[in-house]
Chain A
Amino acid sequence: MLFRLRLWGLFLAQALSREMEYRLHLWLSFCIDVVWYAVQIGLFEVIYLHTPTVAGWSRAEMAVFLGTLFVVDALNMALFSTNFWRIPQYVLTGELDFFLLRPVSPFFLVFLRYPNVASFLNLALALTVLGYGVSLAPPPSVWAVLAYPVFLVHGLLCMVSFQALIGAIAIRILAAEGIQQTFHILYQFGMKPDSIYTPLLRRVLLYLFPMGLVASVPAQVLLGKAGVELVAAGLVLPPLFLAVSRRAFLHALRFYTGASA
């Protein structure tokens, strides 16, 4: 574990020195998520001009939800997302050979090789939005504050799991750009609180396709709104999803034949 942490520290140092060469690119990448945050906040600000609550969420609670969404998203962007988008290129160019030959887990290398420095800046902004939301909402209980980081990490695990599954498909079908875009398209379900959906869809988003666990459940835990079912699902399912998707990804690697020879 310590070895992997040290290795990731080296990846981060490399990424940082690369970004320092192209500083404008770093700031423009930072701007992308700033604009995305502004659009999400703008949408709900306009909605709350016309109604006091949306599916049981007040404006302050929605700010906590958005803050949570932005934090999980920024962590995903900082750690995994850049790597996820590179998978088809690894397969087509044969670059994946070099990952498989290293004495480290290919899952670790494929998903963590290139950290995104700009997203660490976004993380600071996301935490500010979260802090603002918490300051508006009723004070959370001590239990909620202690449990929240665990659910936040579990939300991130759900994102990684889904990307790993799509990555596995990308390895199998080679021309995978369209498949990769499905992640961003379906991620839209996780960008809104789960209580806006029908009971059946909420179950699907909780147990089958866990977008509800990304931000909705962690935010409800912090706000003290999560019932026993949500807490149990949020604790148990994400590690399970990760184990299954990691296995699927490693299984897909068996079908990779290399392209560099």
Chain B
Amino acid sequence: MKDLAVYVSVLRLGLSAALMYRANFLFTAGLTVVVGVSVQLFLWGAVYGWGQHASIAGMPFGQMALYIALATLSLGLTRSGRVERMVAEEIRTGELVRYLLKPMAHAPYVLTMALAERLVSFPVVLLAALVALQVVLPEAPAPLSTGERLAWAVPFWVCGMVLNFLMGLGISYVAFWLDEVWTLHVVKDISLWFLSGQLVPLSLLPNGVRQLSEWLPFQYMAYVPAGILAGLIPEEALPLLLVRGVGWSILLSGIVALLWTTGLRRFGAYGG
């Protein structure tokens, strides 16, 4: 109970910190989504020959447009943020010692701070997804009702957030061995545009690559939640996908814990 109170305080602290950057967040995130989605829609409009092709790989343009909008929102929501990246800087400068002296584990502390950061963006993404589903593109096929689709998408968004968080934190923990890891963060973020299915639905990939992508964790950050909302993924496939997502989360947690334990043995900081 005492632990819970500690993490609630950390969450409050994280929310205050995240809200401090709200103007910056709303400006850059809003512009990123609007421009990103617009350029992608123009591109896919051209791919569909501006209405000349009724469908591509079985997807009508309305469904593709809905998917692209939702995939961009999903990746925006699940992408790793400022909090995980700062861990690398704290390791490099030695500021990590501040956390080692506190009565809480480091990873849960960072997770709580990261959760606060996402809590600010989550309602915005949810609202935008609802608008996309209900107002902008109502003609997309609907095997599930809007409510059912949103209910299924939420656990996958959480799963995507956890996976992306763990990847980001794992990369930051590499700072125990390397001086500068920001390049690795950037490489990961750029790779995710494609690997997560933000730029192109993974169902359009060639067979072998598509099968491989189904076993990898990246699809949970954009393709799966956006695919559920756009009606691309059948309902019967969802439980297995969720099990795999949880499995990946457990595996990555283990790797991150291992990096922390071995990295901490090498860590040295002086003064303070």
| A interface list, Cβ under 8 A from B | 22, 24-25, 28-29, 31-32, 35-36, 38-39, 42-43, 46-47, 49-51, 54-55, 177-178, 181-182, 185-186, 188-189, 191-192, 195-198, 201
User: CB-CB contacts of B49-88 with A at 8 A, as 1s and 0s?
Assistant: 1000100110000000000000000000000000000000
Chain A residues contacting B103 (CB-CB under 8 Å) are none
7 smallest CB-CB distances across A and B, nearest first, come from: A28-B183, A55-B46, A196-B46, A39-B194, A178-B24, A196-B42, A188-B39
A202 CB, min distance to chain B CBs, angstroms: 10
- Which residues of the partner chain B approach A36 to less than 8 Å between Cβ atoms? 190
A185 touching B42 by the CB < 8 A rule?
A: no
Can you report 12 A-B residue pairs in the complex whose CB atoms are below 8 A from each other?
Answer: A29-B183, A43-B199, A47-B200, A54-B46, A178-B28, A182-B28, A185-B31, A188-B36, A188-B39, A189-B35, A196-B42, A196-B43
Q: Which chain B residue has the least Cβ–Cβ distance from A26?
A: B183
Kindly identify which residue among A38, A54, A189 contacts B39, using a CB–CB cutoff of 8 Å.
Answer: A189
A-side contacts of B204, CB under 8 Å: 46, 49-50
Q: Number of residues in B with C-beta < 8 Å to the partner? A: 34
B233 to chain A, nearest CB (A): 18
Let me know if B183 and A182 touch, CB within 8 A.
no
B47 touches A47 (CB 8 A): yes
For A43, the chain B residues whose CB sits under 8 A away are: 194, 199-200
| Complex interface: chain A residues within 8 A of B127 (CB) | none
B147 at the interface (CB under 8 A from A): no
CA distance A29 to B181 in the complex (A): 10
Distance, CA A29 to CA B190, complexed state (A): 13
Would you give the shortest CB distance from B65 to chain A, in whole angstroms? 14
Which of A177, A178, A188, A197 meets B35, CB within 8 Å? Answer: A188
Given contacts A31-B183, A54-B43, A185-B31, 20 further A-B contacts (CB under 8 A): A25-B183, A28-B180, A28-B184, A32-B187, A35-B190, A39-B191, A39-B199, A43-B194, A46-B205, A46-B206, A47-B43, A49-B204, A50-B57, A181-B28, A188-B35, A189-B39, A191-B39, A195-B46, A196-B42, A197-B42
